[in-house]
Chain A
Amino acid sequence: MANRRKVDYEARGAYWMMVLPAFIIYLLVMAFPIVLSIVLSVSNYSGGQMFGGTEKWGFAGFGAYAKVFADPLFWNALKNNMYIVAVSVFGQIPLGFFFAYIIFRRTVRWPDFWQSVLYVPNIISVIVVALLWQTVFSPHGPLAEVMNAISRHSFEKQLNVLFAATGAAVNGTFAPNDSLVTGLLKLVGTAGANMFENPFPELKDLLLSFQGSKIPEVMQALCNLFVPGWSPEFLNRPDVAMLPVLFVILWMYTGMYLILFLANMQKIDVQIIEAARIDGARESQVMNYIILPALTGTIVNSAILAISGSLSSFALVFAMTGGGPNHVTEILAIYMYNKAFLGASNFPLANAISLIMVLISFILIIITKQLEKRFGGKEE
C-alpha cells in the first residue's frame, strides 16, 4: 500500500515536470495575451509603463468596441478578410483539388515535378513574394513592359502595311505623301487626331520633317507619339487594389492544398478504383462515389484552415500594399496594427480588434467540432 502510494507521487511529480514547461509557455504566449486584451480593451491605457507608471489608467467602459463597430474601416477590413476566405474556398481549394486529382489519376506525367513546383511559393518568404509581385504589378513593372511591347508591335505592323500601300518607303528611307497622312490619321483615330488643332496639315508638316530618315527611326518616333503608354495601376487604384493581393494569395497557397488533397487521395485503396473501372464505372463515377466521399473531411478541414489563415495573412498584405492605397486593402490584422502603431497609438481599440479576431477563431473552433461530429472523425 505504502509502496503504491510512493509510485503515484513519483508519477504525479514527473507528469507535472513534463507538462508544465510547455503549458506555462503556452499560457504566456496564447492565454495571457487574450486576458490582457480583454482588460486593455475596456480600459483607457494609452501606452507607457503598465504597472507602477506615472500615468494612471483604469476601467473606461466598452467605448472601444462601439468605436470599432462604428468604424467603416473595420467593416472594410472584415470584408477583405472575407474576400481572402472566398479566394481560398472558391479558388485555392477547387484548383488544389483539381491538380491533386489529375496527379493522383495520372492524367499528367511527372507527378513529383508539378507537386514540387506548385509548392515553391509556400517555401520562400512572404516578404520575397510580396515585394516580387509588388514590382510586377507596379505602374512601370514588367507587366507594363510586356503590354506596351505588344501594342507597339501591332502598331508597327499596321504602319508597315500603310507604308507599303502608300509607297512612303523608298529604298528604306522615308518619303511621306498625302495618302500616308490620310491613312495615318485614320489609323490613329480620334485619340491621335485630338493631339492636333488642325490634324491634316500639322501631321503632314511633322511627317515632312522626317523626310529622308531611315524607316525604323520614323517608326520609333511614330510609336512614341501614337501608342499610348499603358500602366497597370492596380495597386494605386482603390477600386481594384485588392485584386493583385487576392491573386497572390491564390498563387501562393494553391500548392499547399494540392499537397493536402494529394496526400489524402493517396490513402484511398487504388484497387477499389481499379475494380470500379473494370466494372465499367466512368471517371466521373469514380470521382463522385470514391474520391469525393473519401475527401469530404479534408475539404471541410481545408475551408477551416482557409478562414484561420485569412486571420493570419498579415505579412503579405503588410509588405505588398501596407493596407493602402487609402486603407482599401487593409485586413483585420493590418487594421489592428495601424490602430496600435500608426500615428497616435490607440491600445484599447487595437486590443478590442484583437479580441474580435480571437472570438472569430473561437466560433470557428466550435463550428469545427460540430462538423467533426457530423462528418465523423479525423481524416488527416
Chain B
Amino acid sequence: MSDEIKDTAWTRLGDFLGKFFAYFIMVIFALMTIYPLFWLVMNSFKTTSEFQISQLAWPRAPTFDNYKQAWWMGDFALLFPNSFIYTIGATAGIIFLSLLAGFAFAKIPSRATKPIYASFVVGILLTTNTLMIPLFLEMNLLQLYNTRAAVLLVYIGSGLPTAVYLATEYVRSIPTALVESARIDGAGFFKIFMKIILPMSIPVATTLAILNITGIWNEFALINILVSKTELKSLPLGMFKFSGSLSTDYGKQFAALTIGMMPMLLFYIIFRKQITKGVAAGAVKG
C-alpha cells in the first residue's frame, strides 16, 4: 500500500519535472524566435546613431524616416509588383500544369506514364539550386537572361516535380467512374478536366498554392542569377541590397527587412492552419 503511494508520488514528481523541462525548452525556443524579430522591428524605428548608442533600449523618438528612405532606396515600389507577378504567375502555372499532367497520368492509360511520371518523381530530390550555373548559362543561350519569362520558367520547372507527384496521387483518388461516365456522355478530355477534375481538385490545389506561394515569394538563389535589372527584381533581391554598402546603416536596413518580411508574416497569420497542413503534405521525398 505504502509502496503504491510512494510510487504515485514519484510519478507525480516525474510528471512535474517533465512538464517543467518541456515548458522550459519550449519557452526558450519561442523567445529565440519572437524576440529577434521584435528587436528587428523595434530598431527599424531608431536612427542609426541612436541604434549605435543602445540596441536594446526602446526607441526614444520613434521615426518613420527609415521606412521612407528604405522604400525609396530599395525601389520597393518596383519590387512589390514583381514579387506578386512571379509568385502568382508561377504558382498558377504550377497548379494548372501539374493537375493537367496529373489527370493524364491518373486517368488516361498510356505506356508513357510510367517513365515520364518516374522522371518527375526523381526531380523531387533534385533541387534546382544545384543547377544554378548551368541554368544561368542556359538562359543566356536561350536569350532569356534578364527577362520575366526566365524567372517564371525556372520557378515553374522547380515546382513541378513535387506538384505533379501530389496532383497525380490526388487525381488517382477521384473515382474513375466519374470520368468514364462523362466520356460515355460524349465529353472530351479537356471538358472533363475543366468541369470535373479541376473543381474536385481544390484541396490539392490549395496545398500546392500554399507550398509554392511561400517558397517563390522568398526565393533568392535562382532569381539572383537570372536577373540583374532593378525593374525585374523581387523583394528578397531588394532586401539583399541593404547588406552591402548599406549594411552599417542599420535603421534603413531594418526598415527594409521589416517591409520585406511583413507580407509573408500577414499571409502566415491569415492562412496559418492551411500552411501547417500543406507543409506536412508537401514534404515528400518521392
Residues of A within 8 A of B (CB): 10-12, 14-15, 17-19, 21-23, 25-26, 28-34, 36-37, 40, 50-51, 95, 98-99, 102, 107-108, 112, 114-128, 130-136, 140-142, 145-146, 149, 251, 254-256, 259-260, 262-264, 301-302, 304-305, 308, 311-312, 314-315, 318-319, 332-333, 336-337, 340-341, 347, 350-351, 353-354, 357-358, 361-362, 364-365, 368, 378, 380
A15 to B127, CA, bound (A): 27
The 9 closest A-B pairs by CB, nearest first: A29-B157, A263-B280, A14-B189, A33-B134, A312-B129, A357-B130, A312-B127, A18-B104, A315-B220
CB distance from B181 to the nearest CB of A (A): 15
**CB atoms of B157 and A26 under 8 A apart:** yes
Q: Which positions 89-143 of chain B face chain A at CB distance < 8 Å? A: 97-98, 100-101, 103-105, 108-110, 112, 116, 119-120, 122-123, 125-138, 140-141
**CB atoms of A10 and B138 under 8 A apart:** no
**CB atoms of B239 and A358 under 8 A apart:** no
Interface string of B272-286 (1 = CB under 8 A from A): 100111011101111
A150 to B108, CA, bound (A): 70
**CB atoms of B283 and A19 under 8 A apart:** no
Write out the residue numbers on chain B whose beta carbons fall within 8 Å of the beta carbon of A264: 280
Write out the residue numbers on chain B whose beta carbons fall within 8 Å of the beta carbon of A11: 108-110, 189
Write out the residue numbers on chain B whose beta carbons fall within 8 Å of the beta carbon of A12: 110
Known: A19-B104, A132-B37, A361-B126. 8 other contacts (CB 8 A): A14-B104, A29-B128, A33-B135, A40-B134, A95-B29, A127-B218, A136-B36, A336-B133
CB contact between B137 and one of A50, A146, A263, A311 (< 8 Å): that residue: A50
Write out the residue numbers on chain B whose beta carbons fall within 8 Å of the beta carbon of A29: 128, 131, 135, 153-154, 156-158, 160
A26 to B124, CA, bound (A): 11
Write out the residue numbers on chain A whose beta carbons fall within 8 Å of the beta carbon of B138: 28, 32-33, 36
A131 to B253, CA, bound (A): 9
Of residues B130, B136, B141, which shows the largest number of chain A Cβ atoms within 10 Å of its Cβ? Answer: B130
CB contact between A351 and one of B26, B128, B134, B225 (< 8 Å): that residue: B134
CB distance from A47 to the nearest CB of B (A): 9
* Total residue contacts A-B, CB cutoff 8 A: 296
**CB atoms of A30 and B126 under 8 A apart:** yes
* Count of residues in B whose CB is under 8 Å from the partner chain: 97
**CB atoms of A145 and B242 under 8 A apart:** no
A33 to B129, CA, bound (A): 11
Interface check B1, CB cutoff 8 A: no
Interface string of B21-45 (1 = CB under 8 A from A): 0110110011011101101100000
Interface check B206, CB cutoff 8 A: no
**CB atoms of A304 and B125 under 8 A apart:** yes
CB contact between A22 and one of B52, B164, B285 (< 8 Å): that residue: B164
Interface check B170, CB cutoff 8 A: no
* Closest residue on chain A to residue B189 by CB atoms: A14
A11 to B41, CA, bound (A): 57
CB contact between B160 and one of A25, A34, A304, A364 (< 8 Å): that residue: A25
At the interface, is chain A mostly helix, strand, loop or mixed? helix
Write out the residue numbers on chain A whose beta carbons fall within 8 Å of the beta carbon of B120: 22-23, 26
A and B contact pairs by CB, cutoff 8 A, 13 listed: A18-B100, A25-B157, A33-B135, A107-B19, A131-B257, A260-B279, A301-B283, A308-B125, A333-B132, A341-B225, A354-B131, A354-B133, A358-B131
A122 to B268, CA, bound (A): 10
CB contact between B18 and one of A107, A115, A311, A361 (< 8 Å): that residue: A107
Write out the residue numbers on chain B whose beta carbons fall within 8 Å of the beta carbon of A259: 276, 279-280
Write out the residue numbers on chain B whose beta carbons fall within 8 Å of the beta carbon of A353: 133
A318 to B116, CA, bound (A): 35
**CB atoms of A15 and B104 under 8 A apart:** yes
Write out the residue numbers on chain A whose beta carbons fall within 8 Å of the beta carbon of B34: 117, 120
